[in-house]
Amino acid sequence: MDIPELFTRGEPVFSFEFFLPKITDDIPSFLDGVRELKRLSPSFVTLTYGAGGSARDKTIETAGRIKREVGLETACHMTCITHTKAEMSENLSRLTSEGIRHIVALRGDQPKDQAVPPPGERDFGYARDLVAFIKSAGGFRMAVAGYPETHPEAVSPDDDLRNLVEKVKAGGDWVITQLFFDNQAYFRFVEKARAAGVRVPIVPGIMPVTGYAQLKRFTAMCGASIPPALNAELEKVSADPEAVIRLGVDYAARQCRELLEGGAPGIHFYTLNKTRSTSEILSKLRKAS
C-alpha cells in the first residue's frame, strides 16, 4: 500500500495514532487493543517514537508487529533530535527489514533527562533535515507535522508556515496536523498553506476528549486552545468521567463532520490507545454518510 495514493481516491481516509507502551510487558495487551480497533477498518495507523528516541528498537519492532501480526499498514514515527546520521541510517535499515516503508518524520521533543546541543551542532537540526535525509535514502513515503495554531517554539506563524513549506519541499508526502478543537484554525491554516505552495494532503489531527485534566495538560504542552464554549461545557461535567467522555465523543463527531464537509481529506485520530471514543465517533460519522 502507498499511503499518499489513498488521498487521491475521493473518499475520506481515516487513520489512528497509537503511542508505544512504556513497559515491554504491556505490549501484548497493547496489540490486542490495536486488533480491537482494526474492526473499524482504518486506512492505516501510526506508532509514536519514544522521547528522544529512547525506545527506538522497541518502536521499530512493534511497528513491524502491527503490520505483520495485526495486518494494518503502519507508519512509524521517527524523531531526530538526539540521533546521528549513522544511527538514523541504522533505523531506516531496520524499518526496511520490518517491511515498514512509511514514516512520520519529526524533530521530536527535548528529552527530559538529556541535554541536547543547539540545532547547528546536531546532525539533524530540524525536521526538514530528517525529511531530506530519508528522501535521499529512497524507498520511503513520509508524513510531516503541521500546526494550525503555530508550533509553540516558532518565532511567528509565518515562520512556522515557512518551516512546513520546507519540510514538504524536502520530501513530505502528506501533512498531519497537531490536535485542535477550533475548526476555523484548521481551515485558515490550509488556506495559508495552499497560498504558500503546499499541495500535498493536509489531514486534521483530532483528539477526542476523554478527561478534562488530561486535556488541560495536552493543550498546555502543544499550544492548542480550547474554545470557551467547549471549556465551559467540560467544566460543568468535569467531576463525572462518563459525562466527559460522552461530551468528548459528541464534540469530536461534530468537529469531524464539519471538517469533512469543508474538504478535509480524512481524519487522523489521536486514540490515546483507547478504543471506545474513536469507535463511537466513527460510527456516528459513517451512519451520517
Tens digit of pLDDT for each residue in 177-206? 999 999 999 999 999 999 999 999 999 999
Query: Biggest alpha carbon distance in the chain?
Result: 52
- In the predicted model, is pLDDT for residue 50 greater than 90? no
**Cβ(76)–Cβ(47) under 8 Å?**
yes
**Cβ(134)–Cβ(177) under 8 Å?**
no
Q: Is 17 a catalytic residue?
A: yes
Q: At 248, which helix (H) or strand (E)?
A: helix 241-261
DSSP secondary structure string for all residues of 163-194: HHHHHHHHT--EEEEEE-S-HHHHHHHHHHHH
At 22, is the pLDDT very low, low, confident or very high (cuts 50, 70, 90)? confident
In the predicted model, what is the mean pLDDT of residues 228-256? 97
In the predicted model, what is the mean pLDDT of residues 121-139? 96
What is residue 76's three-state secondary structure?
A: strand
In the predicted model, what is the mean pLDDT of residues 240-262? 97
**Mean confidence (pLDDT) of the chain:** 94
At 109, is the pLDDT very low, low, confident or very high (cuts 50, 70, 90)? confident
**Cβ(124)–Cβ(81) under 8 Å?**
yes
Residue 57: its pLDDT value, please? 86
In the predicted model, what is the mean pLDDT of residues 220-233? 95
At 173, is the pLDDT very low, low, confident or very high (cuts 50, 70, 90)? very high
- In the predicted model, is pLDDT for residue 119 greater than 90? no
Measured CA to CA, the distance from residue 190 to residue 219 in angstroms comes to 21
- Residue 54: how many CB atoms within 10 A of its CB? 16
Q: Which domains does the chain have, with CATH numbers?
A: 3-288 (3.20.20.220)
Measured CA to CA, the distance from residue 17 to residue 10 in angstroms comes to 22
**Residue 7 is placed in which grid cell?**
488521498
What is residue 136's three-state secondary structure?
A: helix
Where are the extended beta strands (E) located within the chain? 13-18, 44-47, 74-79, 102-106, 141-146, 174-179, 202-206, 266-270
- Residue 39: how many CB atoms within 10 A of its CB? 9
**Which amino acid is present at 223?**
G
Residue 49: its pLDDT value, please? 85
In the predicted model, what is the mean pLDDT of residues 28-46? 95
At 289, is the pLDDT very low, low, confident or very high (cuts 50, 70, 90)? low
17, 73, 149, 233: the catalytic one is 17
- In the predicted model, is pLDDT for residue 87 greater than 80? yes
